[in-house]
Amino acid sequence: MQTKRTFLPIRLPPKNPNPEKFLIFLSPILNMNPKEISEGIFWVGAIDWEERDFHNFHTLRGLTYNSYLILDEKKVVIDAVKHKFVSEQLERISRLVDPKEIEYVVVNHIEPDHASGLADLLRVAKDATVICSQKGKEGLCKFFECKDWNFMVVKNGDTLKIGKRTLMFLDMTMLHWPDSIATYVVEDKILFSNDAFGQHVASEERFAEDLGVENALKWAKLYYANILMPLATLIKKKLEELKGVEVRLIAPSHGVAWRNPKVIVENYANWAEFKAENKVVVVYDTMWGSTEKLARAIAEGASKNAKVRLFHVRKDSWTEIVTEILDAKALAVGAPTIHNSVFPPVAGFLSYLKSLKPKNKKALAFGSYGWNGVAVKEMAKALEEMGFEIQQFAVKFKPTKEELQKAYELGVELSK
């Protein structure tokens, strides 16, 4: 039976476009085909080529909002998309089936990047039942007017037969919201893992092997470090639970799917244990160059025994910095004193870092001052509260040769 298609409105390119921006402009409408990830199961999500900031996560290459369509006796959509991409999702669905035939929409997670397009989807799939956790239902009914929606509330281990396939729902509470669940297709051994194992990268590739496994792992590490790092204890517990589930394919809510789940699961296990490489990260900001001189001397000393990553906190991405800190064995943070406090960009960075709860590191607080060296003391206190083994080094005004030598030696010590 031929189904009616819903087509996107034509988007005219800008006059005299920059070639690179023109490609970005056209990319969302170049390929509207769904992509089969397993027999009868299709990716029907959306690609956001232009997003560069996802609640302070620097999405350096955009991101995807993954949605999946399961064609069985009952038609099931796994997750909605961000509201402004619903037409893109519906176009992909309509190339396979009339969206009105959708009987279930599983909401693994109610955060707006996953679910803000749900109401628009349900205006087309009017008879669909929304499947979610109890917390998910409560949250959706705060985001939307839901009194006319049909709900099926599920808990861990509940199943739903949709034809030749069975869906099993797994509790993912606080990975990373209270409502979170994952959906497992028993017969196909596919885990729709929600945010776990995802990456923020815009790509038409749907599998890690096609993007390049090492490349996919790089994006997955950025995602883990900036979103899931504070949940390491829960992640370790959940990885243990998942050992009892045979998984052939992991399909997350963002990024590419993993045909070899062992690769990403092993990396998650290492990240959750904060297994450290032989690496030192030096992060600093400077007013008149004195703290920068100390930072470079520390980095030079640390390079004697370890890899070094040197970052300027205003010029480099915090997203990248904390990703390097994730598996570093040591961290040095430097700032000058201003207004009897820590130079604000570094204070802000430390606040962000503290929220991510990194562990198992040595640390050095350093910096320059004019008449009150309180910044180093405050940074040391902040790092100590994170559970780090702390050293301090403060220099008045411009560092002397002897003080730069001392900074070098502290770097050497930090790298051991």
Which regions of 187-320 does DSSP assign to beta strands (E)? 190-192, 249-251, 279-284, 307-312
Range of the domain at 328: 279-415
Active site residues: 55, 109, 111, 113, 176, 195, 223, 254
Q: What domain count does the chain have?
A: 2
pLDDT given for residue 20 in this prediction: 38
Q: Answer yes or no: do 206 and 290 share one domain.
A: no
Give CA–CA dist 27/44, Å, rounded: 16
Contact 169, 159 (CB under 8 A): yes
In a domain, 155, yes or no: yes
The candidate with the shortest Cα–Cα distance to 135, out of 90, 166, 96, 181, is 181
Helix, strand or coil for residue 290? helix
Q: Answer yes or no: do 30 and 49 share one domain.
A: yes
In a domain, 143, yes or no: yes
CATH of the domain at 293: 3.40.50.360
Pairing verdict, β 330-334 and 362-369: parallel
Contact 216, 260 (CB under 8 A): no
Phi, psi (deg, nearest 5) at residue 102: -65, 130
Q: What is the average pLDDT across 22-47?
A: 78
Last residue of a domain, one of 208, 242, 272: 272
Contact 156, 171 (CB under 8 A): yes
Summary mean pLDDT of the chain: 93
In a domain, 8, yes or no: no
At 333, list the tokens. 């943070």
Q: Answer yes or no: do 184 and 268 share one domain.
A: yes
Q: What is the average pLDDT across 258-280?
A: 98
Contact 99, 93 (CB under 8 A): yes
In a domain, 10, yes or no: no
Contact 45, 254 (CB under 8 A): no
Q: Answer yes or no: do 254 and 362 share one domain.
A: no
Residue 289 confidence (pLDDT) above 90: yes
Could you tell me how far CA 409 lies from the centroid of its own chain?
36
Q: Answer yes or no: do 247 and 286 share one domain.
A: no
Q: Answer yes or no: do 84 and 131 share one domain.
A: yes
Strand partners, 185: 167, 190
Residue 275 confidence (pLDDT) above 80: yes
In a domain, 7, yes or no: no
Q: Answer yes or no: do 151 and 300 share one domain.
A: no
Last residue of a domain, one of 252, 272, 292: 272
Could you tell me how far CA 54 lies from the centroid of its own chain?
9
Q: Answer yes or no: do 285 and 263 share one domain.
A: no
Phi, psi (deg, nearest 5) at residue 241: -65, -40
CATH of the domain at 214: 3.60.15.10
pLDDT, tens digit, for every residue of 48-104? 999 787 777 888 899 999 999 999 999 999 999 999 999 999 999 999 999 999 999
Q: What is the average pLDDT across 311-318?
A: 98
Q: Answer yes or no: do 246 and 286 share one domain.
A: no
Q: Answer yes or no: do 302 and 198 share one domain.
A: no
pLDDT given for residue 30 in this prediction: 56
55: Cβ contacts below 8 Å, ≥ 6 apart: none
pLDDT given for residue 388 in this prediction: 97
In a domain, 186, yes or no: yes
pLDDT, tens digit, for every residue of 330-350? 999 999 999 999 999 999 999
Q: Is the pTM of this model over 0.95?
A: no
Residue 11 confidence (pLDDT) above 70: no
Interior angle at CA 263, CA 157 and CA 41, nearest 5: 55
pLDDT given for residue 159 in this prediction: 99
Residue 326 confidence (pLDDT) above 70: yes
Residue 27 confidence (pLDDT) above 70: no
Last residue of a domain, one of 272, 294, 313: 272
Contact 350, 319 (CB under 8 A): no
Q: Answer yes or no: do 202 and 332 share one domain.
A: no
